[in-house]
Amino acid sequence: MAGRIHRYAVGLKWTGDRGEGTAHYRAYSRDHRIEAPGKPAIEGSADPAFRGDAARWNPEEMLLAALSSCHQLWYLHLCAEAGVVVVGYADEAEGEMQEAADGGGQFVRVVLRPTVTVAAGSDAERAEALHHEAHAKCFIARSVNFAVACEAEIVVAENRQTVPRA
């Protein structure tokens, strides 16, 4: 039996015409708007290294955010099933993209660095191990062709006992 199919749709509109269109490389802004019904718009642009607006989200940041949030959602689900009570979760994810000689490029790796606080009495070792299972199930991580590592830190609330990063 095949798995369920889920479909997603977003609209993207370029908002960067400065009156000359794309007459030349410096004539236009990279600004755009990403929309989906019933949700706030995301104001996007290119990375400033590619003439984008640093105040707007760029595709590279959104890819990193998708990996981080997908891992977090799976992790919280797995902890709830395993009886590990998470009371705090924050991630400081980093990605590395390498430009190619032809001007293109690709991500070569991403490192997720979640700091997870679990309630006193929760199994900190199980909390650490569940990151591996979350990574294996993450829809986004399974869809990319580069390494995604997870260097988690588990903190136990109250006594602040820490299990070091793997």
What's the pLDDT tens digit per position in 126-163? 999 999 999 999 999 999 999 999 999 999 997 555 55
What tens digit of pLDDT does each residue of 100-122 get? Answer: 999 899 999 999 999 999 999 99
Q: With 0-12 CB in 10 A as exposed, 13-18 as middle and 19+ as buried, what is 8?
A: exposed
Residues 43 and 81 occupy one common structural domain: no
Domain count for the chain: 2
Within a domain: residue 126? yes
Asked whether residue 28 falls in the same domain as residue 106, the answer is no
Would 110 be classed as within a structural domain? Answer: yes
Question: What pLDDT score does 15 carry?
Answer: 92
Q: Higher confidence at residue 166 or residue 54?
A: 54
Q: Which long-range contacts (CB under 8 A, 24 or more apart) does 13-19 make?
A: 16/45
Let me know if residue 4 belongs to a domain.
Answer: no
Same domain, 80 and 23: no
| Residue 102 belongs to domain spanning | 59-163
The tens digit of pLDDT for each residue in 10-22 reads 999 999 999 988 8
